[in-house]
Amino acid sequence: MNWPYELQIGWRYTRSGRAGRRNGFISFISGVSMIGIALGVAALIIVLSVMNGFQKEVRDRMLSVIAHVEVYEAKGQAFDDWHAVAAKARTNPQVVGAAPFIAAQALVARGDDMRGAIVRGISPEQEATVTDLAARLRDGALARLVPGEWGIVLGAELAHSLGVREGDSVTIVAPGGQVTPAGVVPRLKQFTVVGTFSAGHFEYDAGLALIHLDDAARLFRLGGPSGVQLRLADVHQARNVGSELQASFGGGVEVRDWTRTNRNWFDAVQVEKRLMFIILTLIVAVAAFNLVSTLVMTVTDKRADIAILRTLGASPRSIMGIFIVQGATSGIIGTALGVGGGLLIAFNIDVIVPAIERALSVSFLPSSIYLISSMPSEPQQGDIVPIALISLVLAFLATLYPSWRASRVQPAEALRYE
């Protein structure tokens, strides 16, 4: 294959290191630079993949309890006809399920123990079409939510903190109260615990209680559902679909997608991921700019070769191209090794981490402390491609100064002492 001589010579300089101790040292430094780039790229891919995995696990557990999109009456009133709202929402092709609900804050009491919670009134049949948790419990605990029997399903942590189990009674203290000649008396209603649920997300396991929609309407004195929950075909489209639905419903209705309902968590995860990307990119930058010292030493060592090439007619631009090829080759090899190694570890982290835990007799994620006992990983193309491009760009930038310096070598001065 007849490559341009800049490529041939640049590739030969990259592989050089057999002729003498000095060349061997330069080759060693070049190898260290490539390994440094590879380790930085691999670290970036592994860390971001693990962060994506944790984000997906938490998001999936969160969305097993709440719907992707919620539609409310703007003035906080109940919908007169939630079926009409659901039918209009279903005109959006992304909406695949709809269910009515009533949600309000209340106190759940058992004896002297009292806990604040979100009490959600649901229709067990329709709820199963919008949340995974309801689908799992439809033939169990939720089936025992019968209107008029005042049954309640508690989160596992909430039930544990109150010391109740199935068959016990709890009292719901509703906000607002009722005015009597003796003053404002809180509205109390006794419910029977018909089951518990565990979503794997502490916020909901410790602060959510489910009752039947009709019981909730009577308890909170509403004429109907306070909102409609929607399930989407693609959870990642929730923000776009929410904006589209808001535009179609107009100002009389408020639409909230799950990213806005849990905005603090969602924003915190995004900020943390960006900061981690910046910090680890600096590691790649340090490794990439190690190529500067490698190329400067190579230029110094190859001054006689550069002078000979110049006397044979090579232009300064060609000389610069030779050393750009040498540095870029190191960057390409290092990036390729980093991407390959990072993906290999990221895709097999569920095997590698348990092996390390067994070898060291430790547990990185004790199930008694963390929600997730195994380390998840989800490599995403949207992370890997920018990492590879940034590494290649940094490696290319690192070659510019040494290559320019090589192009400025004067043949007569370089050959004076040869």
pLDDT in tens, 290-308: 778 777 777 777 777 777 7
Alpha-carbon separation of residue 316 from 21, 48, 306, 414 (angstroms): 28, 42, 10, 14
Backbone angles phi, psi at 184, to 5 degrees: -80, 120
Contact present, 85 and 416 (Cβ < 8 Å): no
User: What pLDDT is attached to residue 1?
Assistant: 37
pLDDT cut 90: percent of the chain above it: 15
> In terms of pLDDT, which residue wins out, 25 or 400?
400
Convert the pLDDT of each residue in 326-347 to its tens digit: 788 888 888 999 999 999 999 9
- Give, to the nearest 10 degrees, the angle between helix 21-63 and helix 316-347: 40
Average pLDDT rounded to a whole number, residues 389-404: 87
Convert the pLDDT of each residue in 270-290 to its tens digit: 888 888 888 888 888 888 777
User: What pLDDT is attached to residue 417?
Assistant: 56
CB neighbours of 214 closer than 8 A, spacing ≥ 6? 121, 147, 148
User: What pLDDT is attached to residue 254?
Assistant: 87
User: What pLDDT is attached to residue 35?
Assistant: 87
Per-residue confidence band for 201, with pLDDT thresholds at 50, 70 and 90: confident
User: What pLDDT is attached to residue 19?
Assistant: 43
Convert the pLDDT of each residue in 1-33 to its tens digit: 344 656 666 666 666 544 444 455 556 777 778
CA 114 from centre of chain: 35
pLDDT > 70? residue 241? yes
pTM over 0.75: no
Average pLDDT rounded to a whole number, residues 155-169: 90
